[in-house]
Structure 1
């Protein structure tokens, strides 16, 4: 898998789905149309090795706590690139930013640097988790995360199962979840800036970055 960086590589990652990009990614629309066919041409790669080379953290341990009203669904998702699966409803103890994205999504690329910057600012005060959504190309997803500078854990929801409990038009979506597991804010569509996200974290999670 190529380790090239820069704007040209970003364009290459989504060239195969350019015609469906605007339809497949949400602003605050009320319909979602994922790509009608997966992008083609992904080489055969060793996903665990690619994940390690990208510096993506292992997925967190989740518990068997009961589902919280207004909280994350009782849904277990695999870890991108291999590792322990994660039960969303069993994540507790630390406020969370959960970002739902896809490597074919233009707005996801636009907001990617803001998420990377917030990760640096947050340290261990905020748990950040990504969910690669409706994306049949895990190798490209790992490369996307690497290019974005995301080092936090990434889950996979290729079949869009989270949509059954948390309906949304399409990625990107960002959920702020308190330490008890309740969703306290939901950002529909692209985050405009690092300042916007740090402000939302301050206002809804009570953490100043």
Structure 2
């Protein structure tokens, strides 16, 4: 199952949590992949929600409804233990798919963007990441807690949502093959 945020970490050590707008200037943001500019497209029935989120690293805000696949949208947080467990599988998928599958991370309900950037860098998650500090994807994606991964086809339709942690590389790879039709 997913994680519940640890509210006690907010403001830990006397630090003030960053807002999404200030996360763009957080130390280490340049180590993340830049968020790409995406062409504006009409929302797709059964597609990603019509929500815009700021880039955790550098780059423009991304409107999720504009995205098309094959794509995995992984909802995670640095305070989430299962997210740490599955991070190597996502990093491996991104590397071995050779660009046949795109990945975007959504740092969810995380008051510590500097810790989120450290998490992504430490785990080799070198794809773009967005910040959703206000849980804007909670209702449309029915996020009970991270991790959650949405599989998006080339038409922009969400064809599968995996709730909870991937238990193996084989499980993730098989879902990419069966749900998105992508092999490498």
Do Structure 1 and Structure 2 share a fold, with TM-score over 0.5? yes
User: How far did residue 34 of structure 1 move?
Assistant: 3.0
User: How far did residue 39 of structure 1 move?
Assistant: 5.3
- Give me the CA root mean square deviation: 2.1
Aligned ranges 1:121-160 → 2 under 5 Å: 121-160=96-135
Structure (1 or 2) with the larger CA radius of gyration: 1
Partner of 1:40: 12
Distance 1:39 1:102, change over 3 A: farther
Partner of 1:188: 163
Partner of 2:77: 102
* Structure 2 gap segments, 5+ residues each: none
In structure 1, C-alpha distance between the alignment counterparts of 2:58 and 2:37, rounded to whole Å: 14
Q: How many residues align?
A: 177
Q: Which of 53, 72, 82 is the aligned partner of 1:77?
A: 53
In structure 1, C-alpha distance between the alignment counterparts of 2:4 and 2:121, rounded to whole Å: 26
Partner of 2:28: 50
In structure 1, C-alpha distance between the alignment counterparts of 2:98 and 2:11, rounded to whole Å: 35
In structure 2, C-alpha distance between the alignment counterparts of 1:170 and 1:158, rounded to whole Å: 13
In structure 1, C-alpha distance between the alignment counterparts of 2:58 and 2:150, rounded to whole Å: 23
| Mapped contact 1:74–1:87 kept (Cα < 8 A) | yes
| Mapped contact 1:48–1:82 kept (Cα < 8 A) | no
Give SS of 2:104's match.
strand
Q: Which runs of 4+ in 1 moved over 2 A?
A: 32-37, 41-49
In structure 2, C-alpha distance between the alignment counterparts of 1:206 and 1:160, rounded to whole Å: 30
